[in-house]
Amino acid sequence: MNTPIYLDYMSTTPMDKRVVNEVVKYMDVDGCFGNPSSSTHRFGIQASAAVEKARKNVAKLINAEPFEVFFTSGATESDNLAIRGAALFHQRRGKHLITSEIEHKAVLDVFRQLEREGFEVTYLKPDENGLVSASSLSEAIRDDTILVSLMYVNNEIGTIQDVEGYAAITSASGVLLHVDASQAAGKLPIDLKKIPIDLLSLTAHKIYGPKGVGALYIKQKPKVRIQPVIFGGGQEQGVRPGTLPTHQIVGFGEACKLALNEMGEEQDRLVKLRNKLWLQLKNIEGIRLNGDLENRIGNNLNVCFEGLNGESLIFALKDIAVSSGSACTSSTVEPSYVLRAMGVPDLLADTAIRISIGRFTTEEEVDYCAQYIQNTVKWLQEIGLPKG
Ligand SMILES: *Cc1c(COP(=O)(O)O)cnc(C)c1O
């Protein structure tokens, strides 16, 4: 194989061609390009109908009502709107907030900002398998706690968190619960009629939809109140104003519909592929699996290699598009804060790679990748570069 293999589906996914086919119907002069807010003419009314159809499909994926779905530009915006919006609206009841050390930056950086604005934040620690326990949440809740934000599936190590456990605690204590479900939606069944979650973030580009569109679920019965973060033309009930991008939203809706219909079969296939990959990798000398193997989303592996040099490993693996565990913040390379929180030493964390497969991954690709990683690691071990 001489074309690079894409194994980075947790970073983003290609759009499904069936999604693209729908998206292009809502763009040009021959399509349905009207402003969905223009209710005085057919162009607008048709666009509005397309948006509402998409809203139903998004709602169905999480078993919510369409009027509980508010379109945004993606999960980063949904997280900002949920956390900041809820904190600002409810701050008279208290200024204590709870999240965890392994959240996505789109969550952590909002909390950092709220700290600068006078809120107090407790960061829950994961165990060595990357799981944040419901009991640690229970212990952290105080009389002045107003909001908890914890993710459904971790984007680096793929761990499935105890969201049902969290929701039982927050609903019993009268504290709002926000869940970032970017990596869970379309992969795990999510039933918001069963789990009492108040706010839930979604994004289209992790489920074969377009980039730049997502949604925030806001429970309406009983109504969860949040303050808008931006102000403008009153769209989305004023919670998130701005002209609705019809084509993006249609793509998101179509992606949700496909995900719901194909989730069971797709996950079965991906788990089999992932397990096949792990079976071939697990005997490599010095390999360590990061994150719980049981409570783990079907498409993810995250591994470290004891004794290897992180930079050389990533460089040597250039024919397969995997994600390096470390984050490049401007000029410096930092080990993953998620692995750090789990107690993985920095030198080892530097060698972390995330392998995430998806809808278009084939068995041949998985076998090639397993062989390629085996050979590369063996070669690096033989030439024996110094660590660090
Ligand atoms: C990708 C991702 C985000 C950011 O989503 P965007 O739509 O790219 O803004 C937030 N949280 C998690 C867990 C993610 O995986």
Q: Are residues 214 and 289 in the same domain?
A: no
Burial-class residue 246 by CB neighbours within 10 Å (0-12, 13-18, 19+): buried
> What pLDDT was estimated at residue 326?
62
Q: Report residue 314's pLDDT band, with 50, 70 and 90 as the boundaries.
A: confident
- Ligand 1: does its nearest atom lie under 6 Å from the Cβ of 72? no
Tens-place pLDDT, residues 144-196? 999 999 999 999 999 999 999 999 999 999 999 999 999 999 999 999 999 99
Of all residues in the chain, the percent with pLDDT exceeding 90 is 89
Q: Which residues contact 139 (CB under 8 A, 6 or more apart)?
A: none
Using CA atoms, how far apart are residues 85 and 87, in angstroms rounded to an integer?
A: 6
pTM: 0.96
Asked whether the predicted pLDDT for residue 386 surpasses 90, the reply is no
- Ligand 1: does its nearest atom lie under 6 Å from the Cβ of 182? yes
> What pLDDT was estimated at residue 327?
58
Residue nearest to atom 5 of ligand 1 (CA): 75
Domain boundary among 225, 258, 291: 258
Residue 107 domain-assigned (yes or no)? yes
Asked whether the predicted pLDDT for residue 388 surpasses 60, the reply is no
> What pLDDT was estimated at residue 56?
98
Mutate to test the pocket of ligand 1, among 83, 156, 203 (most ligand atoms within 8 A of CB): 203
Mutate to test the pocket of ligand 1, among 73, 155, 199, 240 (most ligand atoms within 8 A of CB): 155
Residue 305 domain-assigned (yes or no)? yes
369 is annotated as an active-site residue: no
Measured from the CA of 76, which atom of ligand 1 is nearest? 9
Asked whether the predicted pLDDT for residue 330 surpasses 80, the reply is no
Q: Are residues 189 and 114 in the same domain?
A: yes
The domain tally of the chain equals: 2
Domain boundary among 227, 258, 289: 258
The angle that helices 42-61 and 246-281 make with each other, rounded to 10 degrees, is 30
> How far is ligand 1, taken at its centre, from the CA of residue 299, in Å?
16
- Ligand 1: does its nearest atom lie under 6 Å from the Cβ of 214? yes
Mutate to test the pocket of ligand 1, among 199, 206, 207, 299 (most ligand atoms within 8 A of CB): 206
Indicate the average pLDDT of the chain.
Answer: 95
| CA-based nearest residue to 258, from 203, 209, 192, 191 | 209
Residue 32 domain-assigned (yes or no)? yes
Question: Is residue 336 within 8 Å of residue 360, measured between CB atoms?
Answer: no
Kindly report the CATH number assigned to the domain that includes residue 304.
Answer: 3.90.1150.10
| CA-based nearest residue to 301, from 258, 361, 378 | 361
Q: What is the DSSP letter of 193?
A: T
Domain boundary among 258, 277, 309: 258
Average pLDDT over every residue of 70-76: 98
> What pLDDT was estimated at residue 3?
75
| Residue 247 dihedral angles phi and psi, to the nearest 5° | -65, -40
N-terminal to C-terminal alpha carbon distance within the chain? 31
Asked whether the predicted pLDDT for residue 32 surpasses 90, the reply is yes
- Ligand 1: does its nearest atom lie under 6 Å from the Cβ of 213? no
Using CA atoms, how far apart are residues 288 and 304, in angstroms rounded to an integer?
A: 5
**DSSP annotation string for 361-380:** --HHHHHHHHHHHHHHHHHH
Strands 214-218 and 69-72: antiparallel
Q: How far is CA 115 from CA 15, 63, 136, 146, 373, in A?
A: 37, 34, 21, 14, 42
Tens-place pLDDT, residues 91-134? 999 999 999 999 999 999 999 999 999 999 999 999 999 999 99
Asked whether the predicted pLDDT for residue 208 surpasses 70, the reply is yes
- Name the residue range of residue 112's domain: 17-258
Q: Are residues 93 and 154 in the same domain?
A: yes
Q: Are residues 175 and 161 in the same domain?
A: yes
